[in-house]
Structure 1
Amino acid sequence: MSNLTDTQIRVLELAAARADALAMPLPKGLHGAAAKKAVARMVDHGFLEEVDANASRDEPLWRETGDVHGKTLIATEAGLAAIGLSPAEIRNRLDRRYPVATEPTPSAPRAGSKQARLIEMLSVPGGATVAEISEATGWQPHTVRGTISGTLCKKLGLDVISEKTEGRGRVYRFSSS
């Protein structure tokens, strides 16, 4: 180990214990000016790095930045090496911190659910209007439109089209119908 203080060693050990090498939250008792000073020195020495916090994983914030993200702290390769981790252990932690993105596999809706009923209604050649879907599911019109846009199109990747038809108004259906 290099010339690290007990506090710096504790911060890095806690980060090393986490799968993603996240250095937050800091050890109990380390807050305020002492925390700022310790973190600033560790960032200057390259042992910690400030990165955008991942809000979807509820990562704890080191500091607010005024945008949607905020900043959190992660231990760097140099920081993990400073507490005696081998290169293989460091690579393993970095691989878990930055996993390879995989395509999500959408699951089929539960049989008999409102979502399954919606998919059935959009599968018929004539499609369905928002009013017809609202009546069948009990949903408000804004919920129907949101489910079509958010769940069916964005999450499930289904190709839903809408078109105005004479006598019915706007009709939604799958493009292959």
Structure 2
Amino acid sequence: MTKLTDMQLILLSTACQREDGSLLPPPDSLGTQAARIRKAVEALIKKGLVAEQEGMATPQAWRTDADLVIGVVITDAGRAIIEPPMADKAPASEAEQAPAVPTPTAGRVGTKQAQVIDLLKRKGGATLNDIVETTGWLPHTSRAALTGLRKKGHAISSEKVEGITRYQIATAA
């Protein structure tokens, strides 16, 4: 799969919305970053996601050759990235269309993240200091790891016991 920058994705998305498929003029959301836009468009041309086209209007000019105005338009390959082709299958049921709730993923064994999960699964959970001591991370890194685990689908609860916050993962009974 082709990796694209945010700017490249914005340019391709804007081109898909235009009837002529032109990347230029760039959308207002990109501001006045002419050098970065030029670099992004050059990369898209090299990847074959956009192509130069002669006879464009002046606001759509990528470059000029004497009196000829050359613009840049999205190719079918570029459209396929922004608007993936629909598979030949029946319409999805409502259950399939609902946003997916992340399920906890099994991490690699022996990693610091696995150690944190083990700490959180024990009876009474773990304090921030427990996590810091076990992993050697700084407190802000430990809190970020807790956030990352939540994003991965782990149900982490916290409660204050005698002024100290304890974090715990709910385990299946």
Fold shared by both chains (TM-score > 0.5): no
Q: Whose relative contact order is higher, 1 or 2, with alpha carbons under 8 Å and at least 6 apart?
A: 1
TM-score (normalizing by structure 2) = 0.43
TM-score (normalizing by structure 1) = 0.42
